């Protein structure tokens, strides 16, 4: 499937900024699941200072705002050809070793609430079935609902709140899979929705490494393994590692954010 994406993020500052820098992870890469046909990142009110691959091999752009700017707009757009492999990326390995994805992070530190999900995996006849059961159980215990969690909400906190979004679902799933002894990681990207073109945010899901299959993906929020409606962008141990945007700024005044996203064939 050939998917077209246009993703615009606009930062508006109440007062002219002295300094603003954004770490941007918005460039997809070729993989067994996708081929990037064209992609561009344009900046209004700033510029790309540098680009590099981070320790997960994600493509990163450092974007600075012009001194005194009151608006910074970052637009990622392009076309990606995707393939449906029933969620199996396979035995594809990068810079980070498998043991790294068995380590907890601040957002995926297991606690009593997340540890309880391990029993769901172990109760199944085989590990793959157990992971599908885990996905369903996470969505049952933490139904999708916006406005109840924040970007820094941990997996343990999200389970206790009892509501969350795709970021929370992926963090919880990853936490439980690691607690069961498996390498697991967070994936950020895009999802083409069947009922709409315009969206409010990008998407997130989880991957677990199985000895026989390699990396296998699970979208807890939608109860499926990602197919050709998905575009991968970045990976990491949790939502912070793979966040589309991370930044800092200097100067007085408030900051507001507007996101516009279209994903379509």
Residue 164: DSSP 8-state: B
Distance, CA of 213 to CA of 128 (rounded, Å): 10
pLDDT of amino acid 95: 87
Tell me the H-state helices in the chain.
112-115, 118-122, 127-141, 155-161, 166-179
pLDDT of amino acid 109: 95
**Which tokens in the block code for residue 146?**
């916006």
**Global pTM value:** 0.94
Minimum mean pLDDT range among 139-143, 188-192, 204-208, 250-254: 250-254
Instruction: Identify the three-state secondary structure at position 26.
Output: strand
Minimum mean pLDDT range among 42-46, 85-89, 231-235, 250-254: 250-254
pLDDT of amino acid 253: 65
Distance, CA of 71 to CA of 66 (rounded, Å): 9
Cβ atoms 62, 21 nearer than 8 A = yes
3-state helix vs strand vs coil in the chain, percent to 5: 20, 45, 35
Tokens 């993020």 identify what position? 9
Distance, CA of 153 to CA of 163 (rounded, Å): 11
Longest CA pairwise span in the chain (Å): 61
Q: How many CB atoms lie within 10 A of CB 102?
A: 17
What average pLDDT does the chain have?
Answer: 94
pLDDT tens column, 98-148? 999 999 999 999 999 999 999 999 999 999 999 999 999 999 999 999 999
Query: If we measure between CA atoms, which residue out of 11, 5, 62, 3 comes closest to residue 259?
Result: 11
* pLDDT interval class at 251 (50, 70, 90): low
Query: If we measure between CA atoms, which residue out of 202, 222, 183 comes closest to residue 91?
Result: 183
pLDDT tens column, 175-185? 999 999 999 99
Minimum mean pLDDT range among 12-21, 85-94, 184-193, 229-238: 12-21
Residues in the chain: 265
**Which tokens in the block code for residue 182?**
């498996």
């Amino acid at each position: 499937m050939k998917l077209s994406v246009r993703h615009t993020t606009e930062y508006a500052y109440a007062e002219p900024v002295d300094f603003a820098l954004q770490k941007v992870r918005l460039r997809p890469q070729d993989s067994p699941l996708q081929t990037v046909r064209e992609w561009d990142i344009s900046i209004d009110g700033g510029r790309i200072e540098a680009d590099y691959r981070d320790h997960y091999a994600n493509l990163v752009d450092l974007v600075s705002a012009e001194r005194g700017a009151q608006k910074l707009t970052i637009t990622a757009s392009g076309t990606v050809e995707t393939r449906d492999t029933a969620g199996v990326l396979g035995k594809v390995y990068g810079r980070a070793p498998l043991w790294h994805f068995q380590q907890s992070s601040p957002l995926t530190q297991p606690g009593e609430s997340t540890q309880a999900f391990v029993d769901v995996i172990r109760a199944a006849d085989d590990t793959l079935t157990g992971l599908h059961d885990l996905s369903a159980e996470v969505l049952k215990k933490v139904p999708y609902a916006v406005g109840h969690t924040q970007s820094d909400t941990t997996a343990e906190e999200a389970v206790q709140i009892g509501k969350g979004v795709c970021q929370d679902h992926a963090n919880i799933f990853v936490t439980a899979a690691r607690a069961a002894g498996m390498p697991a990681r967070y994936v950020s990207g895009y999802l083409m929705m069947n009922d709409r073109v315009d969206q409010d945010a990008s998407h997130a899901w989880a991957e677990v490494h199985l000895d026989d299959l390699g990396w296998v993906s699970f979208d807890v929020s939608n109860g499926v393994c990602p197919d050709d409606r998905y575009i991968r962008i970045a990976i990491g141990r949790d939502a912070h590692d793979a966040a589309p945007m991370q930044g800092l700024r200097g100067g007085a005044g408030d900051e507001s954010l507007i996101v516009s996203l279209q994903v379509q064939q």
